[in-house]
Structure 1
Amino acid sequence: MALSIELKKFLIKNGACEVGYADITNFTPKPPLNTGVVFYITYPKEIIRNMENAPTPEYLKELISLNSRLDYLGMKCEEFLIDKGYNAYAQTKKRLGTDFGEFNSFKLPHKTIATRSGLGWIGKSALFTTKNYGSALRLSSVLTDAPLDIGIPILKSKCGKCMECMNACPGGAVSGLNWNYKLKRNEFYDDKKCEKYALKVSEENLGKPDTVCGKCIFACPHTQRYIKKS
C-alpha cells in the first residue's frame, strides 16, 4: 500500500531505524484508532560497548536524547497522518508522562505494538528484542485509523534456552521464563527488583539514584553481535 511505504520512508528520513504497523483493534486505548505505527532508534554501538559493568553518564545522556528524538518522530508521524486526512495520536513520553500502572507500564506499551507488527519479540528481561540490534534500542508509537499494511505478529519469544540476561542481572529481576503474548510481564519479570537495583547502581556510578542499569541490554547475544559489527 502506497501510504505504508510513504510513511515508512518519511519516518526513516526523519531518524527512525525501523518502522512497523500492527492491528491493535482488541486492545487500543483510543477506539477507533485501531492501527499502531511503531518505530525505534538504536543506541550507538560505542555507548553500549562501555556498559559491561555499570550504567555510564554517556548512556544516561543518550537515553534522554533518544526519548526526545522519539517524541519528535511521534509528533511528525501524527502530523503526517492528519495531513493525509486520518486521525492519529502520538504516544509521546511528554504526553504519557508518569502515567504508569501498577507494574510500571502504560495502558498500551510501545513494545506490545512492536511485537504485533512483527518487528521483534519480548526478551526474558522484558525488553523488546530484535535479531539485528538485540535490545539496544528505544521505541515509540502512534495510534491511528489510517489503512496501513499490517505486519505478521510475533506472539512468542525467540530467546530459546539463552539465559545471558538472567545471569547478568544482579537484582534477580529476570526469572528465565520465555515470554509469550498471553503472559503478563510480572509473570516472568520482577520490575520492583529491577528498580531497586537500578536505583542503587545508578547512585554509585552516576552520583544520583535513577531507574537505569543496562546490564541486560549489554548481555543479550543479539546486542553483542550488533555492537561488534564494524
Structure 2
Amino acid sequence: MKRYLSMDLSSKLKGYLKKKGASEVGFADITNFTPKPGLTSGVIFYIAYPKEIIRNMQNAPTQEYLEELISLNTRLDALGMTCEEFLIDEGYNAYAQTKKRLGTDFGEFNSFELPHKTIATRAGLGWIGKSALFTTLKFGSALRMSSVLTNAPLDYGTPILKSKCGKCESCKDACLGGAISGKEWNYKLKRNDFYDDRKCEKYALKVSEENLGKADTVCGKCIFACPHTQRYIKRL
C-alpha cells in the first residue's frame, strides 16, 4: 500500500483530476456527516460550462445548454470513477457519488444524503447562492460538480459556512417561478428554508416546454443572472 503525506497526495490527485478535465478540485473533512462509515474525506470537483453556451442563455433554457448539461453529467460520472480508481490504486477505499449510482436515491426534497454542494462548501471552494446553486467567484454558478468519498488523508480546505451574496437578488428577480425567497444561505439552513424546489420544478417544466418543445426540469435563468456568472462569461 502506498502512503503519502496529505499534502503530497492532495497535490497529486488535484493535478491528475485537472488533467482529466476538472476546472477545480477541493478536499473536505466530512467526518461528522459521511454516509459511508470510515470514509471521512470528501473529494469535490467541478467542470464549468463553456462561456459561449452561457452567453446565449438570455432566453434560457436553450437546446445547447441542455445538451451541455447532459454531456457534463456524463463527464463528471467518468471523472468520479477515475478518481475512485486512482485512490484505490493508491491503497485507499473510495466511493464515487456518480449520478448513475445516486440517480434513484433522491429524497423528499430532490436531494441525496450527502450533496456535492455540502462537500464543496466544506472544502472552501464557494458558497450556496440564494438560488440554492453552488456559486464561486470565478465561475458564478455556471458549473456542475460531483464528489468522491474516501478514507485517504487529504489536505482539507477552510470551510465556507455562510453566503457571500449579500443584498444581491439578481437570481430571485430572474426566477419567474418564484422559487427563490431571497434569504441568504448559511450552513445551518436546509435548502427548502430559502428555496422552493417544487416551484422551481413546476416552472422549469413549463419554460422548457415553451423553449425546447419538450417538458424537462431544466431552466438556467438563475445561472445566467448571477453577477459572478456574468463576470465569468465576459472575461477574455
Q: Smaller-chain TM-score range?
A: over 0.9
**SS of match in other structure, 2:44:** strand
Deviation at 1:54, TM superposition (A): 2.1
- Residue 65 of structure 1 aligns with which residue? 71
| 1:77 match | 83
Structure-2 separation of matches of 1:215 and 1:205: 12
Report the count of equivalent residues.
230
Distance between the aligned counterparts of 2:235 and 2:137, measured in 1? 13
CA distance in 2, matches of 1:35, 1:201: 39
Q: CA deviation at 1:216?
A: 0.2
1:46 maps to what in 2? Answer: 52
Matched, 1:12 2:18: yes
Superposition deviation, residue 106 in structure 1: 0.7
In the TM superposition, 1:198-213 aligns within 5 A as 198-213=204-219
Cα deviation, residue 98, structure 1: 2.7
Which residue identity is paired with 1:58? E
Equivalent runs, 1:1-230 vs 2, <5 Å: 1-230=7-236
Letter in 2 for 1:140: S
Which residue identity lines up with residue 104 of structure 2 in the other structure?
A: T
Q: State the Cα distance separating 1:52 from its structure 2 match.
A: 1.4
2:176, 2:146 → 1: CA distance?
Answer: 28
CA distance in 2, matches of 1:207, 1:169: 20
Counterpart of 2:151, as a letter, is: D
Query: Hey, what's the Cα distance between the residues in 1 that align with 2:111 and 2:32?
Result: 18
Deviating above 6 A after TM superposition, structure 1's stretches of 4 or more consecutive aligned residues are: none
Q: How large is the RMSD of aligned CA atoms in angstroms?
A: 0.5
**SS of equivalent residue, structure 1 residue 226:** helix
Identity percentage of aligned residues: 81
Please list the CA deviations of residues 106-146 of structure 1 after superposition, one character each: whole Å capped at 9, or x if unmatched.
Answer: 10000100000000000000000000000000000000000
1:31, CA displacement in angstroms? 0.9
Give, as a single letter, the amino acid of the residue that structure 1 aligns with 2:139. Y
Structure 1 residue ranges without an equivalent (≥5)? none
Q: Structure 1 CA distance, aligned partners of 2:174 and 2:106?
A: 26
Q: Which amino acid counterpart does residue 48 of structure 1 have in structure 2?
A: I
The residue type paired with residue 129 of structure 1 is T
Amino acid at match of 1:49: R
Q: In structure 1, how many angstroms separate the alpha carbons of the residues matched to 2:188 and 2:10?
A: 29
1:129-180: CA deviation from partner (whole Å, max 9, x where unpaired)? 0000000000000000000001000000000000000000000000000000
- Counterpart residue type for residue 47 of structure 1: I
Please tell me the residue identity of whatever aligns with 1:51: M
The Cα of 1:53 is off from its aligned counterpart by 1.5
* CA deviation string 1:34-93 (max 9, x = no partner): 000000000000101111112011000000000000001000000000000000000000
Per the TM alignment, residue 207 of structure 1 is displaced from its structure 2 partner at its CA by 1.1
Separation of aligned partners in 1, 2:72 and 2:60? 19
